[in-house]
Amino acid sequence: MQKRSLLKTALLAATLLFSGPALAWNEGGGEQDEAEHLTPNHENGIEVYEVCSACHMLEGWGTTDGTFPQLAGQHRSVLIKQLADIRALNRDNPTMYPFALPSEIGGPQSIMDVTEYISKLPMNPENGVGPGTNLAHGEKLYKENCVRCHGDRGQGMPDKYYPLIQGQHYKYLLRQFEWIRDGKRRNANPDMVKQINGFSQEDMVAVVDYVSRLKPPKEKLGVVGWTNPDYD
């Protein structure tokens, strides 16, 4: 019995680590398509998000040390895609995977509900930023390599699933940038992988530091000390 249990664990680990993406990075399909065509239920979104809040905080602000990203204010389309990719094992996230299962948060309707809820949360006005030592170089790299997809202020493009990166924590951005550059994030946009393939460590730190200082517009920001009234 113990050997059988160990074998099942090993097979699951192999699936999580080595299974290739079933679809190209933005072709949709499965739960992504199904969720995108549903009408959101706000009350269910609040209930489902309580599961997510254990890591991403009730405000959706994540942690400034980059362990967990800020989700608040992110485009709904991006959130749907990433959540569906994790559930379909197209993106490796062993920490989040157990919490994202249908048995924990529900099916496609819950994906729509929780992502709509998250997308409307006010954003952290004091996200984690980088060292600030090479910002001119970072700005140059950003304008030359990133603006076409992520916009001049890191606002992204929801219709193309390009994420909003303004206001995101520096250390989270740094980790994801490195994983994308080095091929570790399997659901990354292949165009971005090619674009940043030649970035050195210095380049990476500089551009991510610059991005971490791109602030969302005032109307999207919360205030320091804000607490989510949905969980009072």
Q: For the residues 117-139, what does the mean pLDDT come to?
A: 98
- What rounded mean pLDDT belongs to the chain? 91
Going by C-beta distance under 8 Å and a sequence separation of 6 or more, which residues neighbour residue 35? 80, 84, 108, 109, 111, 112, 115
Domain 135-220: which CATH number of 1.10.760.10, 3.40.50.970, 3.40.50.720, 2.40.10.10: 1.10.760.10
Return the minimum-mean-pLDDT range out of 4-18, 22-36, 76-90, 117-131: 4-18
pLDDT at 29: 82
pLDDT at 9: 40
Query: Residue 232 is encoded by which pair of tokens?
Result: 């009072």
CATH class of 11-125+225-229: mainly alpha
pLDDT at 26: 72
| In contact, 124 and 220? CB cutoff 8 Å | no
Count of CB atoms situated within 10 Å of the CB of 11: 10
Domains of the chain, residue spans: 11-125+225-229, 135-220
Q: For the residues 43-53, what does the mean pLDDT come to?
A: 98
pLDDT at 182: 95
- Identical fold, 11-125+225-229 and 135-220: yes
